[in-house]
Amino acid sequence: MDTRINHQIRAQEVRVIGPEGENIGVIPLSEAIAQAQEAGLDLIEISPNANPPVAKIMEYGKFQYEQEKRRREIKAKSHTTETKSVQVKIGTGENDMMLKAKRAAEWLGEGHRVKVDLFLWGRYKYMEFAFLKERLERFLNIIPAEFKISDPVTKSPKGLTCVIEKSGKKS
């Protein structure tokens, strides 16, 4: 970050905010730097695009700490959603299906999208589409969370796929 302090500030005049947050007013740069040094602090350019630029008299280390703290808060509030993946096969046992369904429900609860794959290999790829779709829907019905289907069931190179995401009611 290229925050200018003290003699790095290029403007002739600056609007100065004092160490206690009080508005000192528009004064020449040299006078503002003198006031900051008198207080044993730095003159930090807060808003370089304003006319005249806004500068604050404060300790530079404290300024950097506050900026970092603000950045962390913004990062914590932003939530990135991922597309998680669950793979089921035709012969997957009931207990394994329940475990995978619970994991999918956890991901939906966290706000992620979940891609559900019915993995097909060998002869299974040539089975009737309606039968395979019914197998995938059977898995979707045991997911213990409310969701909506965002991408409908489609054939993919590995088998059948659909994408679900969190919603108000179960579809």
1: in domain: no
Residue 170 pLDDT? 46
Q: What's residue 26's pLDDT?
A: 92
96/151 same-domain check: yes
Residues 93, 72 share a domain: no
Q: Quick one: pLDDT at residue 171?
A: 43
pLDDT of residue 127: 87
Instruction: Work out the percent of the chain whose per-residue pLDDT is above 70.
Output: 96
Kindly report, residue by residue over 125-134, the tens digit of the pLDDT: 888 888 888 8
* Span 40-88, pLDDT tens digits: 999 999 998 888 999 999 999 999 999 999 999 888 877 777 889 999 9
Look up residue 63 and give its two tokens: 């300024």
CB atoms within 10 A of CB 53: 19
Residues 46 and 96 in one domain: no
Same domain for 47 and 88?
no
- pLDDT band, residue 122 (cuts 50/70/90): confident
61 lies in which domain range? 6-77
Do residues 87 and 144 lie in contact, with contact meaning Cβ atoms separated by under 8 Å?
A: no
Confidence (pLDDT) at 1: 52
Q: Kindly report the CATH number assigned to the domain that includes residue 30.
A: 3.10.20.80
- Please state, in angstroms and rounded to a whole number, the distance separating the CA atoms of residues 2 and 32: 20
d(CA 69, CA 136): 46
Distance CA 113, CA 165 (A): 5
